[in-house]
Every structure is written in structure tokens, then in C-alpha cells.
Amino acid sequence: MTTTTQDAYSQLVALGREAGLLKSMEGLLGWDQETTMPPGGAEYRATQLALLARLAHERLSSDEMGELISAAESSIDIEADTVEAANVRAWRRDHDRAVKLPSSLVEEQAATASAAQHEWAEARKDSDFRRFLPWLEKTVELTRRQAECYGWAEDGEPWDALAEDYEPGCTAAGVAEVFGPLRDRLKSLLDELMGASVRPSGRLDELELPQDQQMAFVRDVAGNLGFDFTRGRLDRSTHPFCGGSHCDDVRMTTRFHSGMIIDALGSTMHEAGHGLYEQGIPFEHIGTPCGSSVSLGIHESQSRMWENQVGRSRSFWEWCTPRLAGHFGDVVSEIDVEAAYQCANRVAPGFIRVEADEATYNMHIMIRFELERDLMTGNLQPADLPGAWNEKYRDYLGLEVPDDRRGCLQDIHWSMGAIGYFPTYTLGNLYCAQFFDAACEQIPGLVDGFAEGRFSPLLDWLRENIHRHGRRYTAAQLCERVTGRPLSADPLMNYLEGKLRPVHGL
Amino acid sequence: MTTTTQDAYSQLVALGREAGLLKSMEGLLGWDQETTMPPGGAEYRATQLALLARLAHERLSSDEMGELISAAESSIDIEADTVEAANVRAWRRDHDRAVKLPSSLVEEQAATASAAQHEWAEARKDSDFRRFLPWLEKTVELTRRQAECYGWAEDGEPWDALAEDYEPGCTAAGVAEVFGPLRDRLKSLLDELMGASVRPSGRLDELELPQDQQMAFVRDVAGNLGFDFTRGRLDRSTHPFCGGSHCDDVRMTTRFHSGMIIDALGSTMHEAGHGLYEQGIPFEHIGTPCGSSVSLGIHESQSRMWENQVGRSRSFWEWCTPRLAGHFGDVVSEIDVEAAYQCANRVAPGFIRVEADEATYNMHIMIRFELERDLMTGNLQPADLPGAWNEKYRDYLGLEVPDDRRGCLQDIHWSMGAIGYFPTYTLGNLYCAQFFDAACEQIPGLVDGFAEGRFSPLLDWLRENIHRHGRRYTAAQLCERVTGRPLSADPLMNYLEGKLRPVHGL
């Protein structure tokens, strides 16, 4: 690099880092809102968050940013496999998208989302789709306009333009290509499992356990997985999430009921997976693209791996079952490794996505993907959503949806205007299984080590192969680098079949 | 107002509110840092806070702000007793001060303060003044330069320019005029009390009480005083403080030891006094001068009133003693109203300001005021501070300071560059006593009502006369409006003599 180039790049980094700082504070204020803020703070908090978002967007979409990006591009090898080139490429992409969106549309979407979320919550309470319908229509119209501002490839469709926010490079056609074989194999597996005579024991989840002991237990587990509590926290919130500010201040939450310890543990291990990813991003890159995560799908691959591939394995329960006894005493004396393992691996189709097991979960996602894709092309009208929803639940899961509260009104996403988001959950499961296969191939005795509490070989491998790169590679590039293959449904299905058949006596 | 004026004023409000929003987030991040943030977050938190401070300062000192202020001034009656005029006057003052300070000095002060605080903490640990001396010298030099940037009146001195940040309108000569008579009467009172044969009982403070029960107890008291927990929180921190974001999201903290319940209760009532002030500021003015507090002295008058005039009154303990029993059970069975009242009103000269009682506290402040005033004029060299400090402790409190840790290294303020701050503590006590006299005159049975838990007459009076005005009046104007007299040492001394003599059997 010449001095001038270096200057342009340094200035670009400084401006980009300022936008990053503003976003890091959005993260903190968002966490505070869900865990700590007194209810009276809600109104002004919305104003604080809106200002941070505007200031970050101003920097990202500014002419100055555009000029600095051009200057940096003009004198480095922009396709090189370096941190600098990766940062400039990512800033180019983010800047170009930011300038395409008129602020009038951004503001209208923010205002609509705020009102629509409120109406959705009320409508869900009363299972009253008619109440939500005008807001869904408005949201669909605005997201279509947003898609038009971004544009899409000639052989693409509007959905692609929106999904780019959550899973860069992802297209509806690409998703459909992976989801197709997944759906077929999954349907066969579910038919098999539902026809099996063995029902795994749910006894562990029925035990009433004090919530402060549950907190101590899940903290113990998260710390053993490698979550660094000097650079993060674990608190309670209604809906578990992982947020916070940056790699050295990661805030995750979980939830407790008097029973359902598997839910509390699973939620914690899931969020710890997100948290370990965040903590594995190098501080030196913070505020730049290489200091942030690749995509929601890759993020989800990390949370699912600790929740499922680790937390629902027999090895894990060999280590964890005695720990249960250490924390809860005699109350759990009847639970042996087999009982705990079974409880973590029960499968049963249900109406609610967030309560779904490892196998049926992906069916919920595929249904949403197909519906939102059709809403965007116009093949499905918002008014026809409940009928289309219920038909797919009948077809995919053999269920008769009793009401819209347990049907198309259950998720918040569409009311927030988040269309293109849902598939990242299943993409996460797919990436996860494929990454985990690679880890097992490369680390001898990986899964057996869980039984002795040896989780660091997996964490080290994830840090080395995924976390430390931040956004340096796209999801597809990362998948090829780490696994040597493009994304496929096979690893996930092999994993599910290999585990769930024996649990059900097949 | 003409339409154009209204436009200028509206634009001014919009820009000012944006600066206010940024400051409200500084408040939240500061609270989080002291209560919640994992240690790893410290480095980036400093960067986040610096950005918020810079963005707020940019807005306040901008040419746009200056022009909008001028436009607003040119067509309203700027001396009128209206919210608009008060806001414009305050913005004019803040803007003019902001533009006088070159950002190079601001940055040098921030960097020095950060390093000096660290060195001060280390020096205090080892009672090593020589270690801190170069940083004190640097700080004194920078604050003198800061004072020169601001300037002071012809008959004034550098200290005045600095105190303006904490207590607008306050001058060293004015402070000395009030502190002089206070010192003389206080010295006589202390001589009397120390010579008395009766020593109030400290039994209540010796009882070991579980800390979670202490938290429940002080929350109960704070709620009864009128603190609204739907618009605020109470948490723990090493040093109690009241911070947060704005009137509808007030974050206060307290501290607990196994004994010393009077300290936990006093700290809580003190911070609740600050919190009640903040909660009493109208939301509609938030982000404008009329939506913030008058000065540190007026703020302190509120905290001291609930801590002392209420919390150390016999009436309060008539209400509170049975509540103690309700929270702690048999452990406190030996404590009757008299024992609790005595424990809350013990007087004993000591080395440490933050542990001082109601009477000796002001001596600690007067010593610091005289010393920092001399540091600013150059009559005292930083190297001579320990000697001057120890001499004054001998003179004012009859104490031989054993080491600098318990002497001139005990407070953080000077290491932060906060010169001109200390007197606001005693000004607060003075305003407090004078306001409380007025409240007693205007509300029949005020103090007797505390015995029945009737605190709302006092809170309503404070809301009406002080809280709701925000920064509409200066401290001196407010004092005249509320009490009909300028600030005087008499109300505080009458109060202290009237209470403390009988407690000591005089």
C-alpha cells in the first residue's frame, strides 16, 4: 500500500468504527430495555435508540464514507484474502445498501413497525387476525418497496433483496434448493418417529426445581463451556437472547420455570453459543466488519451446536447428570444419564415454533419461508395467510391449527417487518451439522471428551476456524473453507436420524 | 412570538434535545459501568462515553446552535419569567462556555483525568503522596488554564470560573461569606458536644443483619418516601450514587455491610432524595434546561433533606422502628425508638469525609474549599498540600492526621479535575435547612406526620416549589422565591444545635 492508500483506509476505519461504536451502544440499550429498565423508561428509550440508529446510518451512508471507500478500493487488491480487503468489500456493500434506502422510507417503516408490533401483540392475545390484517398489509407493502429500492438479480425475486440484511448472499432459489431434500427426509423421519412404540421419558422436565438453584446450575454449565464471565453476563428475561455491546461485554439472558429444566439449560446453552461466538471475535477488529459476525445463519450455527450437538448428546449428560445432583440434591436422585438424555431428545409435533424439538423445528421454518416468499411475489395475499398457514401445518406436521394465536399470529417477526429472517434459523441448523461433522473428523475423541467436561477442544476449533474471522468470509466461503463442501441437508439429516431413531427404539 | 421566532425556538429545542438525548445515554452507560458491566467492558466503555461526550459538545458548541440562540433572543423578552426565556438564557450560557473551551484542552484534561485517577487510586492504597504529586500538579495547571479560558469577574478569582460548572453563579467570595459564620458556630457546637457527658447509643449499628433483608427494608422505606419504582431502580454499588437517564428512568444505588444499617438506610434515603428530585422534573421538558436540575447544591439539598431532616428525626423513627422489627424480626427486639434515634444522631470527629456525621461533615468541606481556592490562586503549591491539609484538620477538628491515605489522598475529586465541586455539598446542607424551615412554616404538622408515615406533604411541597421548575431559576433566585431570604448559615445551625444538644444531654 502507498501512504495515501493507507491514509484513506485509516480514515475509513475511523469513520466506520464511529458507526460501530454507535451500534455497540444500541446493543447495550437494547439489552437494558429487556432486562433492567423500569417500565417508565420505554418512551424515551425508543427516542434514544432512534437517534443512535440515525447517527450510525448517517455515517454509513455519508458521501465521505463513499469517497473513502472508493479511495481505498482504487489502490488495494480488493479481491485479496486480507483483513483490509475484506473490510473494504463489506463497507462497500453496506454503504451501497444504506444509500439506496431513502430516509423517508426508513422512518415510515420504523413508525409502522412500532405500531404494528403493538397491534400484533393485542391481536395475538385475542386470536384476532382481522385486527392485525391492515398492519400486515401495510408491512408487506413497505417491505416490497424496500426490496425495490435494493433491487434483485434478473433471475431472482423480491425476497432475495430483503434476506440480504440477515444472510448476505442468500436467495430464495438457493434456500429452496437446500430445503427441498431436507423436507422430504425430515417428513419420513417424523413419520417413523411418530409411529414408534417407544416414547422417551420426560421425567426430568417434570421436577420442580428452585429458580435460584437453576440459575447457579446453568451458570456453572455456561462457565464450563468456556463462557468468560469477566467479559459477559447472564441474566433473566422473558425471551432469552444474546446481546450486549461487543466481544468484551456480551450480555446473554435465559428464563426459568419451576419445572422444565431442559428449557432453561437449552436456552442458556443456546445463548452461550451466541455469546462464545461474540467473545471469540478479536477486540482489535471491533467496530469494523472483521469485528462482527458473518450472518444470522452462521451465528445460529454456533448457538445450535452448543444447544443440540453438545447439550443433547449422551456424552454431555454423562458429565452433566452428576452435576444436576450436585446442584439440586435428592430431588433429582431418580434421574440417571439415560433419563436425562431421553428427556433432552423427545420429539413431538406441536403448533408453536419456539417450543419445538430439534426435528420438527425445521418444519416450522420451512412453512414460514414458503409463505413469506409468496407474500413478497404477490402469489399470496395477506388476507389469505391464515388459510395458507393452516393448510401447511396439516400437510407438513399433520396438525389442525385450532386458532390464529397458535397459528399465523404466534411470531413477532413479520410485525417488525423482518421478512427474510426465518430461514436463517434452519440455515443455522444446517451449517451447524456440517461444521460439527468437520470438527469430529479433525478432533479425535471430541464427543467422548464431553463426558469428562472437555469442551475446550471444540471451542478452540470454532475460534480458530470461525470466530476469529469475523465477517472476513461470506457464509458460503466459510462453509467451503471449513468443511470443503457447499451447504447440504445431508449432515443435519444424518445427525437427526442417527440420534433420534435409537432414542425412539428404532 | 412571531412565527419566525417560534421556528427558531423550535429548532433550538430540537437541537438542544438531541444533545440532551446524548447526555441521557451517558447517564445510562455510567450507571451500567458502576453496577452491571463485566470488568472486560471497561476499555471500550471509555471510548463509548468519550464519543457521546464529543457528540453532545459538538451540538452545544456548534455555530448552528449559536445562531439559533441569537435568533431566539432577538425576538422574545429574554428576561421574562417563562420556560422559553429560561431555556434560551441557559442555552446561551452553556453555549458560550462550550465554545470558550478548545477541544485540545478538553481532550488533554480527559486523558489526564483518566491517568490521574488511576495514579491517585494506587497512591491512596500506599498512602504515597509523592506518587500522586506530579498528577496533581498537572491537574492544577490544566484547571487553571481551563479557568483562564472561561474567565472570571474583575473582583473574582480563578476558582469562580470552575465552580460555575457545578454551581452556576457561585463565587469563592460568596461561599466564604456564608461559610465564615457557619464555621464559627459549628466549632462552638462541636466543642460543646465533645465535652458532653452523654454519648448516644450506637447499638443499632452493631447488629448484624442479612444483606438481602437490608435491601428489602431500604426498598420499603424508599417506596414509602414516594420513590416510584416503575420509573426507577435501586441497586448495589461500591459507592452509592443516583444516576440513570431521565425523570422516568432514575437509577440509584446503595451499599450494605453486615452491620451499619444506619449507613445503608442513610445512603438509600440520600440517593432517594436525589431520585425524587429527578422524578419530579416534568417529562415534557426533558432534554431542555427546564428539564434538568438547577445545580449540584440544590440537588444536594434534596438528598440531605430526606437523609437528615427526615431520616434522622425522632418522628421518622417512631414510624420506622416497628418497620425494622417487621423486616429483621427478633434480632432488633432490643432497639426502641430512642435507641434508633440516638444511633442516627451520633457525632464524632473523624478523618474521613464520607463517614462523617451531620455536624462535622461541613468542616471537612470547608477545609477542602479553602485549600482548592488557594491551589487555584497559587497561594498554595501542590507539594505543600499534605502539610496544609493536616494543619487544618488539627485546627478545625482537633485531629492529628496519621497518614495521607486518611488525609489529602482520601477523595477522588481533585484527581478528576473537579475543582469547585466540594462546596456544593455544604451549600446543599444550607439550602436544605433553609428550605425545610420554609416547608415547616407552610405545612402544619409536617414533622409529626412522619411518625404516621405521611411523607407526601413534604414531597408534594418540594415538587411544587422546586422539582417542577428544573433549571428555570438560578439557585439564588429559587432560594429567595421559596424562603423569602438569601442563603444564610442560621437555619442549618439552628437545626443542628436544636437537635444535637439534647441528644448529647445538653
- Identify the closest residue of chain B to A284 by CA–CA distance: B44
Residue B55 lies in a domain: yes
Task: List CB contacts (< 8 A) between A34 and chain B.
Answer: none
Distance CA A194, CA A347 (A): 8
Which of these, A441, A451, A474, lies nearest to A174 by C-alpha position? A474
Residue B193 lies in a domain: no
Task: List CB contacts (< 8 A) between B231 and chain A.
Answer: 38-41
Q: A459: which DSSP letter?
A: H
Amino acid letter at B229? F
* CB spacing of B230 vs A38 below 8 angstroms: yes
pLDDT, tens digit (0-9, with 9 covering 90-100), for A252-289: 999 999 989 999 999 999 999 999 999 999 999 999 99
Q: What is the dihedral of CA B238, B244, B247, B252, to 10 degrees?
A: -10
Q: Which residue has the cell 425494622?
A: B324
Distance CA B311, CA B303 (A): 11
A497: cell is 436420524
Asked which of B83, B100, B117 is the last residue of a domain, the reply is: B100
Asked which of B65, B100, B135 is the last residue of a domain, the reply is: B100
**Closest Cα in chain A, distance from residue B64 (Å):** 18
Count how many residues are written for chain A: 506
Q: How confident is the model at residue A107 (pLDDT cuts 50, 70, 90)?
A: confident
**Closest Cα in chain B, distance from residue A108 (Å):** 20
Q: Is A22 exposed, middle or buried (0-12, 13-18, 19+ CB in 10 A)?
A: buried
Residue B237 lies in a domain: yes
* CB spacing of B229 vs A38 below 8 angstroms: yes
pLDDT, tens digit (0-9, with 9 covering 90-100), for A224-259: 999 999 999 999 998 899 999 999 999 999 999 998
From A73, A271, A300, A497, active-site residue: A271
Task: List CB contacts (< 8 A) between A51 and chain B.
Answer: 18, 21-22
User: B454 — contact with chain A (CB < 8 Å)?
Assistant: no
Count how many residues are written for chain B: 506
Residue with the bigger pLDDT between A111 and B242: it is B242
- What is the DSSP track for A386-408? HHHHHHHHHHHH------GGGTT
Alpha carbons within 13 A on the beta-carbon side of B103: 10
The SS3 assignment for A197 reads coil
Q: What is the dihedral of CA B286, B289, B290, B295, to 10 degrees?
A: 110
Q: How confident is the model at residue A103 (pLDDT cuts 50, 70, 90)?
A: confident
CA–CA distances in Å: residue B13 to residues A483, B9, B56, B287: 57, 6, 14, 8
Task: List CB contacts (< 8 A) between A48 and chain B.
Answer: 21, 24-25, 28, 245
A379: cell is 402469489
Which of these, B29, B275, B248, lies nearest to A31 by C-alpha position? B29
Tell me if residue A271 is catalytic. Answer: yes
**Closest Cα in chain A, distance from residue B58 (Å):** 13
- Identify the closest residue of chain B to A55 by CA–CA distance: B55
Task: Provide the sign of the torsion angle of the four alpha carbons A480, A305, A492, A291, taken in this order.
Answer: negative
* CB spacing of A248 vs B38 below 8 angstroms: yes
B460 and B323 part of one domain = yes
| Residues in a beta bridge with B235 | B253
Question: What local confidence, expressed as pLDDT, does residue A75 receive?
Answer: 81
A425-436 mean pLDDT:
98
User: A44 — contact with chain B (CB < 8 Å)?
Assistant: yes
CA–CA distances in Å: residue B263 to residues A66, A455, A476, B157, B453: 57, 46, 60, 38, 21
Distance CA B506, CA A257 (A): 60
* CB spacing of B21 vs A231 below 8 angstroms: no
Question: What local confidence, expressed as pLDDT, does residue B1 receive?
Answer: 47
B251 membership: H or E segment, kind and range = strand B249-254
* CB spacing of B55 vs A55 below 8 angstroms: yes
* CB spacing of A44 vs B55 below 8 angstroms: no
Which of these, A173, A172, A176, A183, lies nearest to A420 by C-alpha position? A172
Which of these, B277, B289, B291, lies nearest to B231 by C-alpha position? B277
Q: Which residue numbers in chain B have pLDDT < 50? A: 1-2
Other CB atoms within a 10 A radius of the CB of residue B45 amount to 22
User: B229 — contact with chain A (CB < 8 Å)?
Assistant: yes
Q: A474: which DSSP letter?
A: -
User: B252 — contact with chain A (CB < 8 Å)?
Assistant: no
Amino acid letter at A345? N
B86 and B208 part of one domain = no
The SS3 assignment for A245 reads strand
Angle at B303 between CA B300 and CA B306, to 5 degrees: 145
Distance CA B352, CA B429 (A): 18
Distance CA B138, CA A337 (A): 65
Residue A376's contacts (CB-CB under 8 Å, 6 or more residues apart) are A140, A143, A144, A147, A157, A158, A159, A162, A419
Best residue in B48, B59, B278 for a mutation probing chain A (most A CBs within 10 Å) = B48
CA–CA distances in Å: residue B312 to residues B233, B304, B341: 24, 10, 7
pLDDT, tens digit (0-9, with 9 covering 90-100), for A374-403: 999 999 999 999 999 999 999 999 999 999
* CB spacing of B24 vs A41 below 8 angstroms: no
Angle at which helix A490-503 crosses helix A172-195, to 10 degrees, equals: 10
Which of these, B141, B27, B164, lies nearest to B94 by C-alpha position? B164
Q: A422 near A368, Cβ under 8 Å?
A: yes
Asked which of B45, B74, B100 is the last residue of a domain, the reply is: B100
pLDDT, tens digit (0-9, with 9 covering 90-100), for A179-223: 999 999 999 999 999 999 889 999 999 999 999 999 999 999 999
* CB spacing of A248 vs B40 below 8 angstroms: yes
Alpha carbons within 13 A on the beta-carbon side of B64: 11
Q: Write out the residue range of the structural domain in which residue A13 sits.
A: 1-100
Which of these, B312, B317, B322, B417, lies nearest to B358 by C-alpha position? B312
Distance CA A87, CA A95 (A): 12
Residue B138 lies in a domain: no
CA–CA distances in Å: residue A397 to residues A140, A299, A390, A496, B296: 27, 27, 10, 17, 65
Q: A258 near A208, Cβ under 8 Å?
A: yes
| Residues in a beta bridge with B249 | B246
**Closest Cα in chain A, distance from residue B246 (Å):** 8
Task: List CB contacts (< 8 A) between A283 and chain B.
Answer: 44
* CB spacing of B230 vs A18 below 8 angstroms: no
Q: A21 near A59, Cβ under 8 Å?
A: no
User: B44 — contact with chain A (CB < 8 Å)?
Assistant: yes
Q: How confident is the model at residue A106 (pLDDT cuts 50, 70, 90)?
A: confident
Report how many domains make up chain A: 1
Residue B459 lies in a domain: yes
Residue A81 lies in a domain: yes
Residue A4 lies in a domain: yes
Best residue in A17, A248, A283, A284 for a mutation probing chain B (most B CBs within 10 Å) = A248
Q: How confident is the model at residue A6 (pLDDT cuts 50, 70, 90)?
A: low
Task: List CB contacts (< 8 A) between B51 and chain A.
Answer: 18, 21-22
Question: What local confidence, expressed as pLDDT, does residue A1 receive?
Answer: 47
Amino acid letter at A451? A
Q: Enter the ipTM.
A: 0.92
Residue A236 lies in a domain: no
Q: B249: which DSSP letter?
A: E
Phi/psi-derived region of residue B226, left when phi > 0, alpha when psi is between -120 and 50, beta in every other case: left
Question: What local confidence, expressed as pLDDT, does residue B107 receive?
Answer: 84
Task: List CB contacts (< 8 A) between A232 and chain B.
Answer: 38, 40
* CB spacing of B25 vs A230 below 8 angstroms: no
Question: What local confidence, expressed as pLDDT, does residue B5 receive?
Answer: 59
Question: What local confidence, expressed as pLDDT, does residue A399 receive?
Answer: 96
Distance CA B500, CA A151 (A): 78
Beta strand extents in B311-367 (DSSP E only):
none
* CB spacing of B230 vs A21 below 8 angstroms: no
- What is the DSSP track for A97-134? HHHHS-HHHHHHHHHHHHHHHHHHHHHHHHT-HHHHHH
Question: What local confidence, expressed as pLDDT, does residue B114 receive?
Answer: 84
Best residue in A15, A23, A36 for a mutation probing chain B (most B CBs within 10 Å) = A36
pLDDT, tens digit (0-9, with 9 covering 90-100), for B436-464: 999 999 999 999 999 999 999 999 999 99
pLDDT at A5 over 90: no
* A48 vs B21, B40, B232: nearest CB: B21
Q: B345 near B495, Cβ under 8 Å?
A: no
**In chain A, positions 5-24, which contact chain B (CB-CB < 8 Å)?**
18, 21-22, 24
B224 and B341 part of one domain = yes
* B230 vs A28, A39, A246: nearest CB: A39
Mean pLDDT score across all residues of chain A: 95
Which of these, B199, B249, B363, B225, lies nearest to B307 by C-alpha position? B225
Residue with the bigger pLDDT between B370 and A107: it is B370
* CB spacing of A248 vs B25 below 8 angstroms: no
User: A286 — contact with chain B (CB < 8 Å)?
Assistant: yes
User: How many whole angstroms from its chain centre is CA A233?
Assistant: 19
